Amino acid sequence: MPSLTSVLSGLMALPLAFSAAVIPRQAGGGTRNLFAAADFDFINGQPLAASGGAFYIGVPTNAPCTLAAPQCEQYSNTTSVLIDSLSSSVGMYSTVPSRVYVAQNGVFSFTEPGQVNDIPDGAYTSPFDGEGGVLHFGGGNFAGWIACPLGAPGQLPYQVLGRVSSMGAVCADAIDMAITTQDAESVGAYEYI
């Protein structure tokens, strides 16, 4: 595991490279697990899962480890993010870094592993913060988080989107929600796909 000094030096040299190293707690920042908060019981309190470059409710996290089996035992298969309150940005809490953003169409997304600067045109990367145990976002005339059904309304899975001015029409049966955060208790994943 890299030293705190080397991680901080790396973060200053590559401000968007997030690592699974221990990061000091910042007001509104730090390593967090994400959860849905809504008036609908079937999604309220459900964890958000990273899979296929986006965030979902009711889908397993896709966090493979390509290392040898004994080395993979140290990694988690839980979706965790690193909220950097100094740069107002969010990255996946993983050894192979990914950056979190809200796509132009509203999809709450993350980059491919190791591609922290490969952000699509028109996407919003900041400002994020986790103050008060809630993930806040302020880009693109943001008007709140929503969950859209991928199948029948009222049944999981749902995809998480941010209401941004560039997104166009909102899905039918969208559920208004918040994203709450809790301190991550595990080490990060190796990578998220």
Q: Which amino acid is at 41?
A: D
- Residues 66-79: tens digit of each pLDDT: 998 889 989 988 99
- Alpha-carbon distance 100 to 54, whole Å? 9
Query: Taking 80 as the threshold, does the pLDDT of residue 7 lie above it?
Result: no
Q: What is the pLDDT of residue 58?
A: 96
Peptide bond connecting 127 to the previous residue in cis, omega within 30 degrees of 0: yes
pLDDT level of residue 186 (50, 70, 90 thresholds): confident
**The pTM is what?**
0.83
Tokens for 80?
A: 């965790």
Q: What is the pLDDT of residue 4?
A: 31
Calculate the alpha carbon distances from 46 to 34, 58, 72 in Å: 9, 7, 26
For the ranges 1-15, 75-89, 99-113, the maximum mean pLDDT occurs at: 99-113
Q: Name the fold adopted by 4-183.
A: Trefoil (Acidic Fibroblast Growth Factor, subunit A) (2.80.10)
Inter-residue contact 130 to 178 (CB < 8 Å): no
Q: Measured over all CA atoms, what is the biggest interatomic distance in the chain, rounded to whole angstroms? A: 49
Give the CA count within 13 Å in the CB-facing half-sphere of 49.
17
Provide mean pLDDT across the span 63-91.
91
What is the pLDDT, as a whole number, of residue 27? 54
